[in-house]
Amino acid sequence: MKTAIRIILAAIIGLSVPGTRVEAEEVKIAVASNFINANRELARLFEKATGHATRISYGSTGKLYSQIAHGAPFEIFLAADSQRPVMAEEEGLAVPGSRFIYAKGKLVLWSLKPDLFTDADRYLKHGSFDHLALANPKTAPYGLAAEQVMQRMGVLDSLTPKLVRGESIAQAFQFAATGSAELGFVASAQIKEWEGGAGTLWEIPPDYYAPIDQVAVLLKKGEANPAAIAYLEFLRSDTARKVIERYGYGVE
């Protein structure tokens, strides 16, 4: 499957033809907000290696998809789920066969306060806090995963009045990192990037929520842009995979 995708991408712009010279171009990328810092480093490495430029917009996966559906000029979509890239392909917005998993997300429960809890299950069931942050489950895959965790634990109904929903996982993390919420469901990658101290962390078992397969797809607006093709190829490289793993994600 991976080889087939590479062949499709290469065929679009003739990368397999020896001696082909590709002029420097700019690629417009829509990126799920949990992947902000990792993608910033990837973009720098890509620009240095290829001479191409990147223009990047960040937001929740749902909102980015809505923008794409309404004609936004993005050429690549790095979603935080697999559902919306599939939808983009089905709606004729993406190049068939160009989808692949670029990262596997990990959800954690985190608080700025050290030693806030030792048993997350007991702490959530007791509910001795005022605010619990999460991303909007309707637009952000990490928010949906947080809901699934609470449903599995049997605490969703009791905690609903305490939930503070951010527009994206980035905003949910901001609520927790500033103390606006005592704790929050955030991405593991955000904790690895944060320099404010350890706090209290629960690494949620992966079987508590559906896999967060973050999928990249080439959009129709980018199929003739060599920079878009090159970025997706770079995203699959060993260099990119090492960066992605360092930021706390799994890779295939």
CATH class of the domain whose range is 2-104+212-246: alpha beta
Return the CATH fold of 107-203.
D-Maltodextrin-Binding Protein; domain 2 (3.40.190)
Phi-psi region at 123: left, alpha or beta (left = phi > 0; alpha = psi -120 to 50): alpha
Check the annotation: does 54 bind a ligand. Answer: no
pLDDT at 126 > cutoff 60: yes
The answer to whether 14 touches 7, Cβ cutoff 8 Å, is no
CB 192 within 8 A of CB 248: yes
pLDDT tops 60 at residue 14: no
Q: How confident is the model at residue 7 (pLDDT cuts 50, 70, 90)?
A: very low
For residues 108 and 149, is the Cβ–Cβ distance under 8 A? no
CB of 55 within 8 A of CB of 28? yes
Q: Which residue has the higher pLDDT, 18 or 95?
A: 95
Per domain, the residue ranges of the chain are 2-104+212-246, 107-203
What was the pLDDT predicted at 22?
55
Q: And the tokens for 234?
A: 């770079």
195, pLDDT greater than 90: no
Residue with more model confidence, 203 or 198: 203
Q: Are 2-104+212-246 and 107-203 in the same CATH fold?
A: yes
Query: pTM for this one?
Result: 0.84
pLDDT tens, residue by residue, 89-112: 999 999 999 999 999 999 999 999
Flag whether 169 is marked binding: yes
For residue 243, pLDDT beyond 70: yes
The answer to whether 122 touches 154, Cβ cutoff 8 Å, is no
pLDDT given at position 193: 73
